[in-house]
Amino acid sequence: NVLPACLLLALVLLAPALSAQQERGLVFNLDIGELCMQSIQCKSSCCHRVSGLSMGRCAPKAAEFEECTPKNIYGIYYKCPCESGLTCDADKTIVGSITNTNFGVCKDPQGF
The domain locations on the chain are 26-107
* Alpha-carbon span 95 to 106, nearest angstrom: 20
Q: 49 φ, ψ to 5°?
A: -135, 150
| pLDDT value at residue 52 | 83
Q: 0.95 exceeded by the pTM?
A: no
pLDDT tens digits for range 9-27? 555 555 554 444 445 567 8
Q: What is the homologous superfamily of the domain 26-107 according to CATH?
A: Lipase, subunit A (2.10.80.10)
| pLDDT value at residue 30 | 96
Q: Which residues of 5-28 are buried (b: 16+ CB within 10 A; e: fewer)?
A: eeeeeeeeeeeeeeeeeeeeeeee
The strand ranges marked E within the chain are 35-36, 47-48, 56-58, 67-68, 87-90, 104-107
Neighbours of 70 (CB within 10 A): 19
